[in-house]
């Protein structure tokens, strides 16, 4: 049905409550909602009625918390510098907490703000604060993930070469080399 539009003439103009109802029945989304605008959306809430509630969102958040918690296991591990240890700790906690906090802001605080300040009277400053918080949370989350990724790769590169040199300099290296040479000679 690409390019075909269906227009139904209404008896009356929709109220603010009607628009909110239509927006809630409309597309799935995450993040601040500043206007009710639904063109060309493919995923609607009613398409996911087989899955109750926000199961996918909750599963994703749970996976992120577990992922962050797995990195928190290394909070007291040895790091090359105290600064790297501090950044690891901060990044691990941010990874575990940032997205659930963003979800809380979006799904819990946003409806409260809408009730306190009617949608049509909502001060623009609240929209700007919420947008700024969401952008800040996402940027901090990305920086934390980037640090953890770089630190893991860097640590693996340095530790594997140190372990290899330490192993080759030990008394076991001659035995290991003799076993390898026997395999290739035979």
**All structural domains of the chain with their residue ranges:** 16-161
Residue 112 structure tokens: 């409260």
pLDDT of 88: 92
Between 54 and 130, residue with greater pLDDT: 130
pLDDT of 86: 94
pLDDT of 47: 47
Residue 163 structure tokens: 């372990």
> What confidence tens digit (pLDDT) does each residue in 4-46 have?
656 667 788 878 887 777 766 655 555 555 555 555 554 545 4
108 near 61, Cβ under 8 Å? no
Task: Return d(Cα 142, Cα 106) in angstroms, integer.
Answer: 19
96 near 69, Cβ under 8 Å? yes
> What confidence tens digit (pLDDT) does each residue in 133-186 have?
889 999 999 999 999 999 888 877 776 555 555 555 555 555 555 555 555 454
| Mean pLDDT in residue range 74-85 | 86
119 near 168, Cβ under 8 Å? no
pLDDT above 80 (res 69): yes
| Mean pLDDT in residue range 44-60 | 61
Look up the pTM and report it: 0.58
38 near 26, Cβ under 8 Å? yes
Give percent of the chain above pLDDT 70: 55
């Amino acid at each position: 049905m690409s390019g075909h539009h269906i227009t139904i003439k209404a008896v009356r103009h929709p109220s603010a409550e009607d628009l909110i109802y239509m927006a809630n029945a409309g597309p799935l989304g995450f993040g601040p909602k500043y206007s009710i605008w639904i063109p060309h959306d493919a995923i609607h809430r009613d398409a996911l009625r087989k899955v109750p509630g926000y199961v996918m969102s909750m599963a994703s958040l749970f996976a992120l918390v577990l992922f962050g918690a797995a990195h928190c296991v290394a909070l007291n591990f040895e790091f090359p510098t105290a600064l790297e240890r501090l950044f690891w700790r901060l990044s691990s906690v941010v990874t575990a907490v940032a997205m659930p906090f963003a979800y809380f802001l979006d799904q819990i605080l946003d409806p409260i703000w809408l009730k306190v300040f009617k949608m049509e009277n909502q001060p623009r400053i609240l929209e700007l604060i919420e947008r700024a918080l969401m952008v800040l949370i996402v940027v901090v989350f990305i920086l934390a993930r980037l640090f953890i990724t770089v630190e893991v790769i860097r640590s693996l590169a340095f530790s594997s070469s140190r372990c290899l040199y330490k192993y080759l300099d030990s008394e076991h290296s001659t035995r290991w080399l003799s076993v390898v040479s026997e395999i290739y000679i035979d």
